[in-house]
Amino acid sequence: MSGPAKKKRTRVIKRIVIDVDKCNGCRGCEVICSAFHSHPQYSSTNPARARIRVIREPLSDIYVPVYAGEYTAAECAGRDKYRIDGKEYEECAFCRASCPSRDVFKEPDSGLPLKCDMCESDPSLEEPMCVQWCLADALTFEQREEEVEEEETVEEVDAGLEALANKHGWSKVRDAIDRMSKGP
Ligand code: SF4
Ligand code: SF4
């Protein structure tokens, strides 16, 4: 027997298309991302706080921008291995997750996970900052609308906060929320 029909809503899907062939490794995207998300806004630049990382292989002119994705409480059992133009890249090199097995995509002071938020702001930007700053046109912003079923958003937020607190402790989570809510 099917349950009650779920409400539908329109969701905006944003994505950034990366053209690896155009990226020259200038790291402008890392710099502007960290500046945009600093508090007060633009008060500091520190690529270690950026939600994008450029994986570099300067000898063969290969640069791959990788966006910070979801936090995961446990590292995965499988590993990917990439070989590009004959060079083998270390396991996990292009993974987007903030994960216990490595240091990338973590706030350097608190260790809390970093995730690309597409530069959400009020008023909203026409394009995310990294796209605007990429003079090589390696990053292209796209968005579309799609219909989805209503999500249990409150439960999802609770579960996410609980997972963070299990890993970092409630006081660190509270400190980070306080800091972030002060805003620019
Ligand atoms: S700003 Fe553009 S060209 Fe520079 S590293 Fe980032 S993606 Fe590559
Ligand atoms: S879209 Fe915004 S938050 Fe995401 S990596 Fe680019 S500058 Fe950072």
In the chain, how many domains are there?
A: 1
Backbone angles phi, psi at 68, to 5 degrees: -70, 125
Backbone angles phi, psi at 2, to 5 degrees: -85, 150
Q: So what's the pLDDT on residue 154?
A: 66
In a domain, residue 10? The reply is no
Mutate to test the pocket of ligand 1, among 19, 22, 26 (most ligand atoms within 8 A of CB): 26
Output the pTM of the full model: 0.77
In a domain, residue 170? The reply is no
In a domain, residue 118? The reply is yes
Q: So what's the pLDDT on residue 16?
A: 97
Q: State in Å: Cα 72 to ligand 2 middle.
A: 19
Mutate to test the pocket of ligand 2, among 45, 117, 129, 131 (most ligand atoms within 8 A of CB): 129
139 lines ligand 1 (CB under 6 A): yes
In a domain, residue 98? The reply is yes
Q: State in Å: Cα 93 to ligand 1 middle.
A: 17
In a domain, residue 115? The reply is yes
In a domain, residue 65? The reply is yes
Work out which ligand 1 atom sits closest to the CA atom of 25: 5
3-state secondary structure of 64: strand
Query: What single-letter amino acid sits at 58?
Result: P
Q: So what's the pLDDT on residue 42?
A: 96
Q: Which residues contact 61 (CB under 8 A, 6 or more apart)?
A: 25
Q: How many C-beta neighbours within 10 Å does residue 133 have?
A: 18
Work out which ligand 2 atom sits closest to the CA atom of 133: 7
Ligand nearest to the CA of 143: 2
In a domain, residue 68? The reply is yes
In a domain, residue 44? The reply is yes
DSSP structural state of residue 28: H
Q: Residue 92: which domain range? A: 18-144
List per-residue pLDDT tens for the chain, 184 residues long: 455 667 888 999 999 999 999 999 999 999 999 999 999 999 999 999 999 999 988 777 889 999 999 999 998 888 888 888 788 888 888 999 999 988 899 999 899 999 999 999 999 999 999 999 999 999 999 999 998 887 656 667 777 788 888 888 888 888 888 777 765 5
